[in-house]
């Protein structure tokens, strides 16, 4: 089966960072970049950071070159 060479794993899909990294390893990917994006909400004192979204960009450990 052909898997994509690059894939993005979102931490929110796995619960925590450790579970996300374990899922990556299980699927045969290794992380290349961690991306943290803040999200905001409007509060009484203006715009405030409400949280952050964490994801990892990953590549196949051993791609199938034919």
Residues 56 and 50: their CA atoms lie apart, in Å, by: 20
Give dist(CA 5, CA 41) in Å, integer.
36
User: How far does CA 23 lie from the centroid of its chain?
Assistant: 11
Look at residues 13, 51, 16, 17 and name the one whose alpha carbon lies nearest to residue 34. Answer: 17
pLDDT value for 65: 55
Angle at CA of residue 33, ends 30 and 36, nearest 5°:
130
For residue 36, the model assigns a pLDDT of 95
| Spans in the chain with pLDDT lower than 50 | none
| Residue 1 confidence (pLDDT) | 59
User: In what helix (H) or strand (E) does residue 34 lie, and over which residues does it extend?
Assistant: strand 29-43
């Amino acid at each position: 089966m052909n898997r994509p060479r690059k894939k993005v794993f979102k931490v929110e899909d796995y619960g925590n960072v450790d579970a996300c990294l374990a899922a990556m390893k299980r699927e045969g990917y290794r992380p290349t970049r961690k991306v943290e994006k803040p999200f905001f909400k409007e509060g009484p004192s203006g715009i405030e950071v409400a949280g952050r979204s964490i994801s990892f960009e990953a590549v196949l450990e051993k791609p199938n070159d034919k």
